[in-house]
Amino acid sequence: MALIITDECINCDVCEPECPNGAITQGIEIYEINPALCTECVGHFETSQCVDVCPVECIPLDPSHVESQAQLMDKYHRIIAINPSLK
């Protein structure tokens, strides 16, 4: 699954620089995660880095973007094929 940032976000700015795929951006009111770029850090790290650093625990799995570990790994490979600097 991709992750999602809930409205409990306090805009602390710690999650965005941790995302290896550039999936997190500042939205109108809170940070947002682009599900097309979120791999839950599969391919990069053992755990989701944004979840690890979030002080208010507002980054759960997004039930509207269900993906298996294999699908997340495939997405990781597609992302780094387009932008090898993310590897």
How does residue 87 score in pLDDT terms, banded at 50, 70 and 90?
low
Domains of the chain, with CATH numbers?
Answer: 16-86 (3.30.70.20)
Q: Is the pLDDT of residue 21 over 80?
A: yes
pLDDT at 49: 98
Indicate the SS3 state at residue 85: helix
61-81: pLDDT as tens digits: 999 999 999 999 999 999 988
Q: Is the pLDDT of residue 83 over 90?
A: no
Q: What's the predicted TM-score (pTM) here?
A: 0.91
For residue 9, is it left (φ>0), alpha (ψ between -120 and 50) or beta?
beta
The answer to whether 22 and 80 are in contact (CB under 8 A) is no
d(Cα 66, Cα 9) in Å, to the nearest integer?
22
pLDDT at 86: 67
